[in-house]
Amino acid sequence: MGKVSAIFKGFIWGAVLGSALVLLFTPYSGEEVQHRVNDYVGNVKDEVKRAGEEKRAELEEQLAFYRSGI
């Protein structure tokens, strides 16, 4: 259990330290970073939604094919 908690603490401290360094050394203002992050997250959400819709259409086509018995 000691190794697991040490690894977990290491991840937490690494995340905290990395976040602090990014905040200190980023060349953009806070608002610009927020806009960039929001734009990136929005783009990822759109891509995931689009991929899900495409996969759904593909699966519906396959289902229709199998139901037709051809």
Rounded to two decimals, the pTM is 0.55
How is the chain split into domains, by residue range? 2-68
- The conformational region for residue 8 under phi > 0 = left, psi -120 to 50 = alpha, else beta, is alpha
Angle at 57 between CA 42 and CA 66, to 5 degrees: 155
Task: pLDDT tens for the chain, 70 residues: list them.
Answer: 688 888 999 999 999 999 889 888 888 887 888 899 899 999 999 999 999 999 999 999 999 999 998 6
